[in-house]
Amino acid sequence: MPTIYSFNAVRVVVYPNDHRPAHVHLIGKGVEAVLDLNCPEGPPTLRENYGFSSQLLTELKNQVCEALNELCEGWSEIHGTY
């Protein structure tokens, strides 16, 4: 599972055998969330949340939004298209 980005202790992962639409898994210690990237223009939207506080999730969504181009490129490198 390639980590294509990280925010402090949270890894941003794209699974090689995953499905469309383009999305990332945010993985922390005992918590995980899935954000649809809505490439190429965003904004990212929450699909699933397993344990992140709403405050931290908002911060992470903002960071994902700031890194959207890089994350969409990472998805494309692994899957070919959005």
- pLDDT at 3 (0 to 100): 84
Distance CA 64, CA 48 (A): 15
Question: What total number of domains does the chain contain?
Answer: 1
pLDDT the model gives residue 74:
92
Residue 37 phi, psi dihedral angles, 5° rounding: -80, -30
**How is residue 72 annotated by DSSP?**
H
In angstroms, rounded to a whole number, what is the distance separating the alpha carbons of residues 16 and 75?
9
- pLDDT recorded at residue 5: 86
Domain of 15?
3-79
The structure's pTM equals 0.92
Write down the pLDDT at residue 82.
79
- Mean pLDDT per 10-residue run, the chain (82 residues)? 84 94 96 97 97 96 96 93 81
